[in-house]
Chains A and B, each alone.
Chain A
Amino acid sequence: MTFFLQLIVTGLAQGMVYALIAIGFVIILKCSEVFNIAQGHFVLIGGYLGWTFLVPLGLPVWAALLAAIATAVIMGLLIERLMLRPMVGQPVLAVVMMTIALSTVLGGLATLLWGAEYKAYHGLLPTINMNIGAISIPSESLIGLIVSVICVAILMFVFRYTKIGLAMRATAEDLQVVQSVGIKPTTVYAVSWIIASVVGVIGGILIGGVSGANMDLANIGLKAFAVVLLGGVNSVGGAIVAGIILGMLENVAAGYLDPLLPGGGLAQVFPFFVMIIVLIFRPHGLFGLAHIERV
């Protein structure tokens, strides 16, 4: 029982980070109907940025975080302006291919700048120890949980109470109406890419602080896709719930089934089984809107 609860708690913290990364994906999708395959590579860049600012530059944690966020803002702006702006109105495949190409370029840049090496910065993030009964909550997981919750709360606040948040929700609702009342969709697109890039980078630092920065961080993006599909592609709330569900399921499945399977590695493919099952039985996810096609 303790083993099970331990898996659940670790899964919860991990799932919250997945949810944070998945939210970046959902925001871009809602605002500009672009499926951002490169979301995982924002995480990769984030992991390495965290290492760069914390270890070789030796900044304090708050300054490193601010510097990483500033870099992410610039990165998001550049990507939107140079790559996605020319693709407005293009078919799905062309846009998806563009984000795939973006992901390989980001992967290549990470290789060029950091040599695709394993960079550890374990223990540099602040630690909080907490025990509930026999279950110990790893401090990194707790930090991840807290930061993710704060980020999600900030994003929720921005969407609900600020002008740009209102513009973003309106753009998601109806592009033509938004244009006719004088909101620039391009600004909304730029902001959505900035948010996605920032949450990706923060997620990368959180995960990198636990497992170190390496090229595998990009695979977290694939888990974020499973989260997004499970929660429903156009639902921010769904992404949070699905993130937590997937994080827990993944940990429990890996904890119990991995010893039984010869090759192991179930945690890596688990999201894909979830994806296929969701896509076959409930393509619009738990909280998404069913798509109705009109001629």
Chain B
Amino acid sequence: MGLRSGTFHENYAQEMAILSSRRQWGMVVVFIVLLFACPLFLSDRMLTILTTMGIAVISIHGLNILTGYCGQISIGHSGFMAVGGYTSAILCAKLGWPYWAALPSAALAAGMAGLLFGLPSLKIKGFYLIMATIAAQFIIIWFIIQLRGITGGTDGLLVPKPAIGPIALSSKTNYYYLVMVFAILATITAHNIVRTRAGRAFIAIRDNELAAEVMGVSLWSYKLQAFFIGCIYAGVAGSLLIHYVRFASIEQFPFMDSVWYLGMLIVGGMGSTAGAIFGVVALKVLDELVTVAGPILAAAVAPQAAASLALISHGLIIIIFLIFEPRGLHHRWQMVKAYFRLWPFSHEVSE
């Protein structure tokens, strides 16, 4: 990423700062204020969409660290969300734990599941790891069905209203604030994790495993760390999702969600925190368009057109991005920014 002309890094603190100019700070503050003002002027339906987007953003940040930065492809992310979601549902519904204690436990449980299913990654990679994570997804869901006594099996599990101390989180607005706080925290931590020693090790592993190992990066330790961190995000997201719906069922964690999460990452741009957010927003907006267009198509063409539209449009958008913009929306956005920054010297636009 190039620098704005007139912005110079004169000391180490400036070099390391995430936001390097006052204008950037201003834009971020305005964005956050707008985000928190949303409930004042948006309808319930819009708030629901934004809340699910926030939950997806948290989950995608985890997947981005695992897949985008560490290069360990996972198509079982929704399964890890299920671990987190069910853990906090059981703790709250069966054991009567308060929500503030159940949420970190859920994150930890999902992280543990990630460690367990991350073990094969020490020996295998690429396609083999994809298969192992797909297997993880199905095995987790199967265990949830089998442990009917505590999870409710296929019938699902009712979850009481979440509350943190005296603040009940029953209304849509309250829950929206909770999710947004977590989404912002997740974005900040995710962006910083990849700047640490561990984050640089992840990138080294992604770019060349063998070279990383020769340089002294412990594959064993860092791959498992990536799985652990990635799945902690999934656990938090799963817990937030379950308590939002106030009902835990395996239908909330289908295999296809794992696929769409990876699709969001590809559409947004892998290996970039902003890309993760772009991807979520893009695919969720597409979802909404499909929901709106579905009934119209169903009336005009055939009743099953609505159901197929979602599948075909999602598949096509991923195909289009893979062929024409494999680096995702984030890269496109960088190019637009660079173009305006360098205007009229557009030939200097570069990565």
Contact = CB atoms under 8 A, between A and B. Distances in A.
Interface in A264-288: 265, 268-269, 272-273, 275-276, 279-280, 283
B126 interface: yes
Contacts of B316: 101, 105
B73 interface: yes
A93 interface: yes
Interface string B22-50: 00000000000000000000000000000
Nearest to B320: A101
A21 to B, nearest CB: 16
A283 B134 contact: no
Given A269-B138, A283-B123, A276 B132 contact: yes
B263 interface: yes
Interface string A244-256: 0000000000000
A279 B312 contact: no
Interface stretch (A106-114, A128-136, A193-201): A106-114
A269 B145 CA distance: 12
Contacts of A177: none
A109 B124 contact: no
A295 interface: yes
B135 A263 contact: no
B304 A116 contact: yes
Nearest to A282: B123
Given A98-B319, A295-B210, A108 B146 contact: no
**4 nearest A-B pairs in the assembled complex, by CB-CB distance:** A108-B311, A108-B312, A105-B315, A112-B308
A97 interface: yes
Interface stretch (A4-12, A84-92, A184-192): A84-92
Contacts of A100: 75, 259, 262-263, 318
B100 interface: no
Contacts of A87: 322-323
Contact residues of A: prevailing secondary structure? helix
A18 interface: no
Interface centre among A92, A97, A111 (most CB of B within 10 A): A97
Given A104-B315, A108-B311, A115-B304, 6 more contacts: A94-B266, A98-B322, A101-B263, A109-B308, A222-B138, A280-B120
A97 B311 contact: no
Contact of B139 (A102, A262, A269): A269
B123 A279 contact: yes
Contact of A107 (B135, B210, B302, B311): B311
Nearest to B326: A94
A35 B153 contact: no
Contacts of B259: 100, 104
Contacts of B323: 83, 86-87
Contact of A111 (B75, B211, B308, B322): B308
B93 interface: no
Contact of A229 (B67, B128, B270, B302): B128
Contacts of A111: 304, 307-308, 311
A181 interface: no
Interface in B296-337: 302-305, 307-312, 314-316, 318-319, 322-323, 326
